[in-house]
Amino acid sequence: MIKNILTGLKAYADSFGLISKLRLWKYFVIPILISLATAMIIGASAYAFSDNITDYLTGLIPGWDPPNWVRSIEIFLIGLIIVAVGLILYKHIVMALSAPFMSPVSEKIEHHYLGEKHSHHRVTNFSQQLWRGIRINVRNLAKELLLTVPILLMGFIPVIGIFSTVLLFFVQAYYAGFGNMDYTLERHFSYKESIQFVSKRKGLAIGNGIIFMLLLLIPVIGIIFVLPVSVVSATKVTINELHPGS
């Protein structure tokens, strides 16, 4: 597991160089716009609804009139919760809608590394790639939420709760890496086969997803570059698994 995580991390090396060498930036224009639009909607939602949600929750307690500093803290915490939930939704929305644009990127990288040895694979169109992306990410979102709730509850347990944040980060990283790897797997495997493939290589997905999640912490720049570099690196490790020794 640890070895695969490190492999997933190392695959990010020279991702920018490979994008420029293969002239792939044009494929990322629409996904970057999708990424920025999604992030702006999440940020605007946190700003717009934190006040209203705080007022609603305060109103549930009869006679409760908190001082301004308490209300400010409540608004801040509610905003953080909205952003946290938004980040979970963000990666799945962006990866699902970007699927038709990332598949050609993955294919060009695969051809670059394999050349004449490039294996036969399924040919899919825009709508099929989009549906595959939506299907995979809806499935992953449901799984992630099912794991997130008990992990958050575990956070309230003394001592054990310390590890809940780390565990939650790794869960999010795994499903981010899963989505990035599927852009390549989509050409080679069915929906169920892809799930089985990644399940046996959780470390690779986590390694890819760790950088994905860390990039999201960088304002604006991270949102712009997170998909290009993470998809390229995920494609590299997936190709190595599909074609060992290539």
**Does the structure show a pLDDT above 80 at 58?**
no
pLDDT confidence tier of residue 161, bands split at 50, 70 and 90: low
Give the start-to-end residue ranges of the domains of the chain. 2-28+98-241
Distance CA 136, CA 199 (A): 13
Task: Please write the tens of the pLDDT for every residue from 106-147.
Answer: 989 988 888 765 555 677 788 888 999 999 999 999 999 999
Task: Please write the tens of the pLDDT for every residue from 66-83.
Answer: 677 766 777 777 777 777
For residues 153-172, average pLDDT: 80
Distance CA 68, CA 47 (A): 17
pLDDT confidence tier of residue 246, bands split at 50, 70 and 90: low
Give the list of residues 6+ apart from residue 15 with CB closer than 8 angstroms, or none: 228, 229, 232, 233
- CA torsion angle for 190, 148, 70, 159 (degrees, to 10)? -150
pLDDT confidence tier of residue 44, bands split at 50, 70 and 90: confident
How many Cβ atoms are within 10 Å of 76's Cβ, its own excluded?
A: 12
Distance CA 16, CA 228 (A): 8
Positive or negative: CA dihedral 112, 19, 217, 32: negative
Q: Please provide the average confidence, as pLDDT, over all residues in the chain.
A: 85
